[in-house]
Chains A and B, each alone.
Chain A
Amino acid sequence: MDKVLNESEGHFFSSRKSTSDIKGKIFVGLTQLAVILIISILFIILAVIVYQGRSKFSWEFISSFPTNGMTEGGIFPALIGTFILVIVMSIAAVPFGTITALYLTEYASENSKFAAAVRFSVRTLAVVPSIIFGLFGLGFFIQFLGAGADTAFNGGELRWGQPNILWASLTMALLTLPVIIVSVEEALKTIPRELREASLALGATKWQTIKKVVLPGSVSGIMTGTILAVSRGAGEVAPILFTGAAYYLATLPGSLSDQFMNLGYHVYIMSTQSSDVEKTMPIQFATTLVLLILTLSLNVVAVIIRSRIRRKAK
């Protein structure tokens, strides 16, 4: 007791407290610095894009075709091409991803080796570089499936054995599949066991329970997954590089076997292949701005829906 009250010990105690105080303050300062750094990087990127692109950004820019060797005019076909791409991609990826998530959460038993292998594959798929998907799409969809289909049904005439919307969309679907699977899985898990039991106890089969209780309760999760996948798919370029994106098209695509223009790809070619890079600079930035607005707003919607699900789950 005496020792604790001893003056020198008291000093020792308080001085140690102040060193840890300083260390704490330094650490807090560092974290604040990191936060400021990240926010400013984001802000600078946004500011540069908005500043550089604003002169070009207009309704006319969005709604008209490129003109004059793509040094003037708008990005309408690239915008439409991106829309078609993500729609066809979603039609392929959402049902497939939802079914996979259903298998993983509803059907696979807890210690199923197969389910573990599927989960591992999904995780691996998520970290494969996107250019690999592009090469895979070229090899599998175009050269194997497409060329095979041409030989079998088209008498060897080239129709499907070349880059087009369908193959690009399917390639993109593979890339975004993990996003959908994970989101849907998360949503399925929030359906309480009590509700499943209530349905089963009324004599519903497992499938009826899934169809009438589990899936309706997971709609917002499926939507979140779809939106995140769409926003990812709208921004990726590498997978469509060899599988369907076109440099320039004078008309909008009319069938799945046509090539298409794409926002991300448009930025890429504008900055690397253009005849006059200086002149097209504003077009590049304005295109980037459109792409950014598109993906950012999709992400915001996804975040809102997701937070609603989380609140509901609590």
Chain B
Amino acid sequence: MKDIKIKVNDLSLYYGDKKALNEITMDIPANKVTALIGPSGCGKSTFLRCINRMNDLIPSVSITGKMLVEGVDIYDKNVDVVNIRKKIGMVFQKSNPFPKSIYENIAYGPRINGMKDKTELDEIVETSLRQAAIWDELKDRLDDSALGLSGGQQQRLCIARTLAVSPDIILMDEPASALDPISTSKIEELVHQLKEQYTIIIVTHNMQQAARTSDHTAFFYMGNLIEMGKTNSIFTKPVQKQTEDYITGRFG
């Protein structure tokens, strides 16, 4: 129980009347990488966005069931969504740096938390960029606009920006889908290093990526969680026929 970070219980999500997630129940282990796979529209991204309550932004969405993060139901009325999002960071499919300098991008999160001290901020910027393995590339151009970076650099900058708020959990929504193979492998390497300290949940379209980066894999299909288990066993001996069909490329 101690190494379960997130416990999902009968979680369903509706867009208006349409049920998009159907009674999802799963345990997500701490300090591991959990991959969410499945064909387009299966609900894996929607599910990911439930974990930091990003779906709150869509007015027609309603959610039933429980999402317990370290035992606390994050959909409880007394829970402040802002604190949830500080604890659960998110990296998006399309890199989305602010149109500010590299430094200001990283400092954004600490600043909104009220950090003003310049040396403290400097320190956070450096550690975050180091953690995201991009410090050496960027240290001499911290005042340059983040928009001038390459796609891969931008995405690692966004990861660093997420780390700067020191979350426990990092959600990644197809973080490498728009990147070239070299940038992709850098991101995957990064994911591998980060799981020492963080619980990572990654949505991916790419089977090999799921197999390479994750410890556990959950297969979603049409709003249902079909199967979840150790990545090894999901990819070598899946229990469900649908899972096998999907990972062997028979559909999707």
Bound: A203/B57 CA distance, A: 14
Bound: A202/B90 CA distance, A: 8
Question: Which residues of chain A are within 8 angstroms of B113 by Cβ–Cβ distance?
Answer: 203
Bound: A195/B158 CA distance, A: 11
Contact of B86 among A192, A194, A195, A202 (CB under 8 A): A202
**B96 in contact (CB, < 8 A):** yes
**B108 in contact (CB, < 8 A):** yes
Nearest 8 pairs between A and B by C-beta? Answer: A203-B86, A194-B96, A201-B90, A202-B109, A203-B85, A198-B96, A204-B112, A208-B112
B52 touches A198 (CB 8 A): no
Bound: A192/B96 CA distance, A: 9
Decide yes or no: A202 and B112 within 8 Å by CB, A194-B94, A197-B96 being known contacts.
Answer: yes
> Chain A: interface secondary structure?
helix
Contact of B54 among A195, A197, A204 (CB under 8 A): A197
**A205 in contact (CB, < 8 A):** yes
A202 touches B92 (CB 8 A): no
Bound: A201/B90 CA distance, A: 6
**B59 in contact (CB, < 8 A):** yes
B84 nearest CB across to chain A (Å): 8
B96 touches A202 (CB 8 A): no
Bound: A172/B86 CA distance, A: 45
Question: Which residues of chain A are within 8 angstroms of B94 by Cβ–Cβ distance?
Answer: 194
Decide yes or no: A202 and B85 within 8 Å by CB, A195-B98, A208-B112, A212-B112 being known contacts.
Answer: yes
Question: Which residues of chain A are within 8 angstroms of B97 by Cβ–Cβ distance?
Answer: 198
**A109 in contact (CB, < 8 A):** yes
Bound: A212/B100 CA distance, A: 11
B155 nearest CB across to chain A (Å): 12
**A199 in contact (CB, < 8 A):** yes
Beyond A194-B94, A197-B54, A198-B96, 17 additional pairs, beta carbon < 8 A: A110-B59, A195-B99, A197-B90, A200-B54, A200-B57, A201-B54, A201-B90, A202-B161, A202-B162, A202-B165, A203-B109, A203-B112, A204-B112, A205-B82, A208-B112, A212-B108, A212-B112
Bound: A227/B2 CA distance, A: 61
Bound: A110/B165 CA distance, A: 32
19 A-B pairs within 8 Å (CB atoms) are namely A194-B92, A194-B94, A194-B96, A197-B54, A197-B92, A198-B97, A198-B158, A199-B98, A200-B57, A202-B86, A202-B89, A202-B162, A203-B83, A203-B109, A203-B112, A204-B109, A205-B82, A212-B108, A217-B99
A201 touches B112 (CB 8 A): no
A203 touches B96 (CB 8 A): no
